[in-house]
Amino acid sequence: MFSYADKYYIKQTFDNLIINAITFGKNGKIKISLKNLIGAIEFSISDEGVIPKEEILDIFEAFTLNSKTYAPAGGRGIGLALFKKVIDLHKGKTEAKSDEQGTTFKFIF
């Protein structure tokens, strides 16, 4: 699926997703998965934070926080926008799912 990945931006993508999971997950439980697919990789990260269904697509917009977000340091609403942009530029796919159990972000490229 890809022949080249910018390691700096991919590292930033991993960092953003992991830091978000640590910061916004409820009880500190995080699940990280990395799969080697034929010609691609799939990375997913899940935490126990919940994003309302009506807001799930909006969180990829710059400077947008979901209505349930609270962090002592305060979120800026830019990390997920950068995540989506970097993966899009690498011709990958992003996905976000949230239910009462938590939220999962995934990318494949």
Better-scored residue on pLDDT, 104 or 61 = 104
39 CB-side CA count, 13 A? 3
Q: Which residue ranges form the domains of the chain, and what is each CATH number?
A: 7-108 (3.30.565.10)
| Strands across the sheet containing 40-47 | 30-37, 40-47, 102-108, 93-99
Please count the other Cβ atoms lying within 10 Å of the Cβ belonging to residue 2: 12
74-83 per-position pLDDT tens digit: 556 778 889 9
pLDDT at 69: 55
**Is residue 83 within a helix (H) or strand (E), and if so which, with residue range?**
helix 79-89
Predicted TM-score of the model (pTM): 0.83
Query: Assign residue 22 a region: left if phi > 0, alpha if psi is -120 to 50, beta otherwise?
Result: alpha
Dihedral sign of CA atoms 74, 77, 82, 88 in order: positive
